[in-house]
Amino acid sequence: MNNKNQDTCYQQAATDYGPDLARFTAGYERDPALRRELLQEVHVALWQSFASYQAQCSLRTWVYRVAHNVGVTHIQRTMRRAERQSLAIEDIEAQACEYTDIALTERRLDLARVMALIHQLAPLDRQVMLLYLEELDAASIAEVTGLSARNVATKVHRIKAVLAAQLSGGMQHE
Amino acid sequence: MNDDLLKSAWKSQDLPPAVFSVDQLHSVARKLDRRIRVRNTLEYAACLLVVVCFARFTVVFPYPLMRLGSAMIIIGTLIIAWQLHVRASSQSAPRELAGLEYHRRQLVRQREALRTAWLWYVAPLVPGVVLFRWGVEIELDANGPFARGMGANMAIAAVFFAIILFNLHGARRLQRQLDRLPRDTDNGTS
């Protein structure tokens, strides 16, 4: 692919999927400053990847794969630091209690719990969960992750159960 | 909160998308490359320091075993530097791969680097260190206390073993992660 096409593909991808990329990076990095760096890295990787894009798969699948794989590399690179900084669910719940003092909505509290859960997940499970939250169906998640549709369906089922337990636990806490 | 509300909350997060011009991307890519080059340069600089130090020993010490040991340590260090270069230059998995396959390849690559560390990171130094220490024991410090020499040898061996064990432990950890990956795929390498 020539440079002009590469740039055009990137610009189209950034326009169509820019908000999705921002959310994905939030699923891979908590710290806002590091998240901005990671988002930059995702955009660079995406732009570089379009040098070899020949419509092997849909643009969305390509963009999601690149973004998640950069995220996975980021997790591996920062694993030790992440482990030191990672919060237990109880910590998040404690934070949530502090947030209630400044009147954050229940919606945000639930999102904070979900985010805490996401940051504890292994890379592939995290990928499935983020794609599930993006409202992709099982077939599309399978295409991005390379997991079998059956495996995706099982994981999504478990994710739903964990989310239900997580959120109902949060409500009881409140 | 039900699923739909959660998904809607997820999608309505206040996370402004970044917009980059191609020039900005060029600039960020250069910055990322520079960061990698700095890291590699530091590793080569450490190798250079060892080479300079032992090159000096080949001149300073008049004893043949110590000189030969120093020369072999220099060769061992150059082998390590070459290995670092080869490994830093090898391409990581293409980022457009399906997630499972990408993750698997990354883990395999890292596991192999750790699993074989004894061969490319420790073994090249062993002959030179043994000769050098032998030279110290019988040429430089022939009348020194036995316990002191033995203590130094044991300490060096302990460092080598610790490096090997640490890396093998890391390789086993990565292997466990690999074992946990699902084996059935629909389109993992497409």
Q: Which pLDDT belongs to residue A158?
A: 86
DSSP secondary structure letter of residue B125: G
Strands, DSSP E only, in chain B? none
Q: Does a structural domain hold residue B133?
A: yes
Q: Which residues of chain A have a CB within 8 Å of the CB of B103?
A: 69, 72, 123-124
Cβ contact, residue pair A69, B18, below 8 Å? no
Q: Which pLDDT belongs to residue A107?
A: 66
By three-state DSSP, how is residue B41 classified? helix
How far lies B162's CA from each of A75, A79, B62, B158, in Å? 26, 22, 32, 6
Q: Which residues of chain A have a CB within 8 Å of the CB of B39?
A: none
On whether the CB atoms of residues A12 and A25 are closer than 8 A, the answer is no
Number of H helices, E strands in chain A: 9, 0
Any B CB within 8 A of A113 CB: no
Q: Which pLDDT belongs to residue B58?
A: 93
> Residues of B near A (CB-CB distance < 8 A)?
1, 3, 5-7, 9-11, 13, 15-20, 22, 25, 28-29, 32, 92-103, 106, 110, 177, 180-182, 184-190
Q: Does a structural domain hold residue B159?
A: yes
How far lies A157's CA from each of A124, A125, A153, in Å? 15, 12, 6
Cβ contact, residue pair B1, A123, below 8 Å? no
Tell me the C-alpha distance between B43 and B83, whole Å: 11
Mean pLDDT over B3-21 rounds to: 80
Q: Which pLDDT belongs to residue B33?
A: 85
Q: Which residue has the tokens 């008049």?
A: B62
**pLDDT per residue rounded down to tens, chain A (174 residues):** 667 788 889 999 999 999 999 999 999 998 888 998 999 999 999 999 999 888 888 999 999 999 999 998 898 887 655 444 444 334 444 544 554 444 455 667 777 888 888 888 888 889 999 999 999 999 999 999 999 988 999 888 888 888 777 776 554 444
> Two tokens at A171?
């409500």
Q: Which residues of chain A have a CB within 8 Å of the CB of B20?
A: 14, 40, 43, 47
Tell me the C-alpha distance between A36 and A56, whole Å: 29
Domain span at residue B99 reads: 25-180
Beta bridge partner(s), residue A147: B185
Q: What is the pLDDT of residues B123-178, one digit of tens each?
A: 999 999 999 999 998 888 878 788 888 999 999 999 999 999 999 999 999 999 89
Q: What is the pLDDT of residues B29-69, one digit of tens each?
A: 888 889 888 988 999 999 999 999 999 999 999 999 999 99
Q: Which pLDDT belongs to residue B162?
A: 97
Other C-beta atoms within 10 Å of A1: how many? 13
Q: Which pLDDT belongs to residue B188?
A: 41
On whether the CB atoms of residues B67 and B53 are closer than 8 A, the answer is no
> Two tokens at B49?
């320091």
Q: Which pLDDT belongs to residue A81?
A: 54
**CATH number for the domain running over A1-86:** 1.10.1740.10
Mutate to test the interface with B, among A58, A145, A162, A172 (most CBs of B within 10 A): A145
On whether the CB atoms of residues A67 and A24 are closer than 8 A, the answer is yes
Question: Could you give the ipTM of this predicted complex?
Answer: 0.74
Angle value at C-alpha B123, between B119 and B124, nearest 5 degrees: 110
Tell me the C-alpha distance between B122 and B111, whole Å: 17
Cβ contact, residue pair A143, B3, below 8 Å? no
Tell me the C-alpha distance between B180 and A153, whole Å: 18
Beta bridge partner(s), residue B185: A147
Tell me: pLDDT of B89 over 80: no
Q: What is the mean pLDDT of chain B?
A: 88
Nearest beta carbon to residue B98 from set A11, A73, A145: A145
Other C-beta atoms within 10 Å of B42: how many? 9
Strands, DSSP E only, in B59-178? none
Number of domains in chain B: 1
By three-state DSSP, how is residue B185 classified? strand
Domain residue ranges in chain A: 1-86, 88-174
Cβ contact, residue pair B28, A40, below 8 Å? yes
